[in-house]
A and B are shown apart, each in its own frame.
Chain A
Amino acid sequence: MNMLKYKSSLAKPEKNLNRSSVWAYIFCAPFIIGYFLFSLFPIMYSFFISFFDWNGVGDKLFVGVKNYITIFTRDPLFYKSLTNTLLIMLMSTPVEIILGMLLAVVLFNMKKGKSFFQTANFLPYITTPVAIGFIFAYLFDWNNGYVNLVLIKIGILHEGIYWLQEPATARMVVALMIIWKYLGYFMTIYLAGMTSIPEEIYEAAKVDGANPFKTFIKITLPLLKNITAFLLVTSVIGGLQMFDEPSLLYSWGERSYVGGPDNSVLTVVWKFYNDAFKSDSMLGYGSAISFSLFAIIIVFSFISYRISAGKEV
């Protein structure tokens, strides 16, 4: 296929080819130059710094791979932050996938109001994380929060739960924020996937006498495999970079503290932010954390891709 294309391009007048390929480079130039200046160079610079002990002001002290060794052997908080991140992802991603698919099925079979429900459920995805953090901090406040208020009023609770002060419930609230934010997005992607399945396949199943449940299990589910893989891999990549939701949940006035109760919602990026810019300004150590995270992201996205897309790929 490639050979063919190449041949056909050779067949064109020499002058034309030269002219247009020069323009192709010119059109690529802004992107390449911009990426080098504002991403690639900073990445290499960060990587360079990760081998130093440096606070950004004084002298750089070359320490080799010591930062990396410290992260993986002598910094229990790094493992804790990684565990927290994974725990929150474990609590949120399966719910997003199952509920997202279920909602998409319901919407798919709906005749009226489809686009209203889709738009309404998509709103959380586009909202400023600052707002989400604030809304949830407020809703789950022990004293004034509406969640406790409502639960007490309908008699489920006798007194309010300290949602944001206990490690287990704090993680739950962060997971809820993430589910709330991404559910509409998952639903939309699944809906698009279902719409792209040819109508004839469903018709054929109907003719063969398959009931809706069987059709879903035997036809829809397997055809949505690629979409599930996409959603899983992207949420693993995004989830490991979690920062906005937990940090903003705990940035309001008197409740403002790093990591939540007992560091239970301290994520890797939050730790990175804190080590590199907040408490000690350890830029070298921070860089090393970010590159360790990058390695972890590669490993986990590969694993999740293998799991969701099947072994043959």
Chain B
Amino acid sequence: MKKLLIGFIAIVTVLSILPFYLVFMMSTYYSNDLFKGLPFLPSDFLLKNFETIFKTNFIQVYGNSIIVSVSAVVLCTLVSSLVGFAIAKYKFKFKKVINNFIIITMMVPMQISIIGYLLEMKTLHLNNTLLPIILVWVSYPFGAFFMTQFIKDSIADEMIESARIDGCSEPRIFATIVVPLIKPGIATLATLVFLWSWNNYLLPLIIINKQQFYTIPILVSTLGTAHRNDLAARMCALALSIFPVIVVFLLGSKTFIKGISAGAVKG
């Protein structure tokens, strides 16, 4: 029985990893050789496939994606930590209102704002820049909720009180006492926002139509038409686009998994 179960999980694991493995292997093949059998071993065409990809504006697009994700992470973690700190550790009149507001807005699907957002960005002449796909992450209700919970759980009121008695200003309390203590929470939120913004497909698809502002998902999805026959090159582009996500995930996987499961277990 035990062996059976372990066999079962082994099969599921193989199925989880196999497609990745195939993508990475296929990116080293010459397209026409791909169908001569299952590509389990690497071939020697990787550099040629790189050449094909880098003839497009892949590097520029890659840069765009990095700019978008890094800005999204910085803005979202900062804004979320600030509002989370206020709700978790201050007493003020509209605290409950803001807290409920965050919880309700977490359930609002993004599609209902997208048409208005597109028109707003057009009016501000920001469409066809990278800003629209960064700005949506500024006020991200999940981030605010997550940081509120995290700060509630990880910082004792006494610490803030004693800092206040010592004459520490409120912004300094935030910067020198709160931030160092909530680093694990910031790391989890940062990883999530990085992954989500990197993978975001619908919003850039709607807002951006100039190739110089494409992000990775949009470019890779249009590679289908540009390199109709060069399947290996497409696989290579895919491998390159998955790669940073896997690195970010593996670096933070322990805190990351803890972070996302904490929300579920509590809620």
Contacts and interface: CB of A to CB of B under 8 A. Distances in A.
**Chains A and B belong together in one complex:** yes
Interface of A: 5-6, 9, 16-17, 19-21, 23-25, 27-28, 30-35, 37-39, 41-49, 56, 99, 102-103, 106-107, 110, 115, 117-124, 126-131, 133-135, 138-139, 144, 146, 149, 180, 183-185, 188-189, 191-193, 196, 226-227, 230-231, 237, 240-241, 243-244, 248, 251-254, 256, 269, 272-273, 276-277, 283, 286-287, 290-291, 293-294, 297-298, 301
A124 B16 contact: yes
A128 B198 contact: yes
A86 B75 CA distance: 36
A287 B115 contact: yes
B185 to A, nearest CB: 16
A30 B108 contact: no
Nearest to B245: A126
A313 to B, nearest CB: 13
Given A244-B202, A290-B111, A24 B257 contact: no
Given A123-B20, A134-B220, A243-B202, A227 B90 contact: no
Interface string B5-25: 110110011011101101100
Interface in B124-174: 135-136, 138-139, 141, 144, 164, 170-171, 174
Nearest to B119: A45
A191 B261 contact: yes
Contacts of A231: 264
| Interface secondary structure of A, over-half rule | helix
A190 B17 CA distance: 21
Contacts of A243: 201-202
A265 B101 CA distance: 35
A230 B112 contact: no
Interface string B253-266: 11001101110110
B132 to A, nearest CB: 9
Contacts of B110: 241
Given A42-B117, A253-B225, A188 B217 contact: no
Contact of A45 (B19, B109, B116, B231): B116
Contacts of B262: 192
A141 to B, nearest CB: 10
Contacts, number: 270
A230 to B, nearest CB: 5
B171 A43 contact: no
A27 B86 CA distance: 6
A56 to B, nearest CB: 7
B98 interface: yes
B208 interface: no
A289 B229 CA distance: 37
B35 A144 contact: yes
Interface in B225-254: 225, 228, 231, 234, 238, 241-242, 245-246, 249-250, 253-254
Chain B interface residue bracket vs A? 35 or more
Contacts of A17: 91
B181 interface: no
Given A25-B86, A130-B216, 12 more contacts: A21-B93, A27-B85, A28-B83, A30-B138, A35-B141, A46-B114, A119-B257, A134-B238, A146-B22, A149-B38, A193-B264, A294-B109
B79 A121 contact: no
Given A56-B119, A122-B249, A293-B109, A128 B217 contact: yes
A63 to B, nearest CB: 16
B164 A16 contact: yes
A226 B265 CA distance: 8
Contact of A184 (B16, B83, B105, B220): B16
Contacts of B42: none
Contacts of A277: 206
Nearest to B147: A31
Given A31-B82, A135-B19, A286-B115, A123 B249 contact: yes
Contacts of B139: 30-35, 38-39
A24 B114 contact: no
B17 A123 contact: yes
17 contacts: A20-B90, A27-B86, A28-B86, A31-B80, A32-B139, A42-B119, A42-B120, A43-B113, A127-B245, A131-B23, A192-B258, A241-B110, A241-B111, A244-B201, A269-B202, A293-B111, A297-B107
